[in-house]
Structure 1
Amino acid sequence: MTSLQKYLEGKIDFEGQKLVERISHYAVMELAIFAFFLGFLFQSIQMTFMVFGVGVGIVLAIIIPPWPMFNQHPVTWLPSKGTKEKQQ
């Protein structure tokens, strides 16, 4: 149960966030170009949207779950100093 909870927590680091952003930007741009040319080749707007929609679904399946490859550089936080109450 703890291993399942570890994967469902959704922790990714800052480098993982950059990787997700790059993957999503480049993949969606390439999908749009590919879908446009495929739709132009077959003269079908329906095929254009279908290819683009399926491609975006695949990209979402890749980038939404917190895969371990997105948490390879975890941030180590400094320990807390403890709070001191102000004396007046």
Structure 2
Amino acid sequence: MDLTQFLPEKFKKIPCHMDYEGQKRAEQLFQVIIVLFGVVGFIWGYICQQFSQTMYILLAGFALSCILTLPPWPMFRRKPLQWQKARPEPAEDSGKDSTSSSSQSSQKSKKKK
């Protein structure tokens, strides 16, 4: 059962994908924000001598990084992949099978030697 059939049309039109370059940028941004807030939180917690201050600042950095990196913002969808068109499947020959073609190729390689 597909639950998207119950969504209104305006929600179905919201893009929910991110290209590979966008994923890379989002991961780097996430890591930079977490490290930056972690360092600032550690320093502030050390100055205040309260570990809870460190955790609050780190939690704020985590929330900010989630808001900035989890939704597929347009800045993460700038370089979509250009897929190749599908090749048509070759028509199968009913008279030949794979064993006869492999035996013929092995006979040809023996003749060359």
TM-score, normalising length from structure 1? 0.85
Q: Which runs of 4+ in 1 moved over 6 A?
A: none
- 2:17 aligned to 8, 11, 24, which one? 11
Deviation string, structure 1 residues 51-70 (Cα, Å, up to 9, x no partner):
11111011101100011110
Shift of 1:2: 5.4
CA RMSD in angstroms comes to 1.7
Is 2:79 the counterpart of 1:73? Answer: yes
The percentage of counterpart residues that share the same residue type is 23
TM-score, normalising length from structure 2? 0.68
Where does the alignment leave 5 or more consecutive residues of structure 2 unmatched?
1-7, 95-113
Amino acid at match of 1:35: G
Aligned residues: 87
Based on CA coordinates, which of the two structures has the bigger radius of gyration? 2
Deviation string, structure 1 residues 1-60 (Cα, Å, up to 9, x no partner):
6564343x4211111011011101111111110100011111111111011111101110
1:1-88 matched pairs, under 5 angstroms: 4-7=11-14, 9-84=15-90, 86-88=92-94
CA distance in 1, matches of 2:11, 2:66: 21
> Structure with the greater relative contact order (CA < 8 A, sep ≥ 6): 1 or 2?
1
Amino acid at match of 2:24: K
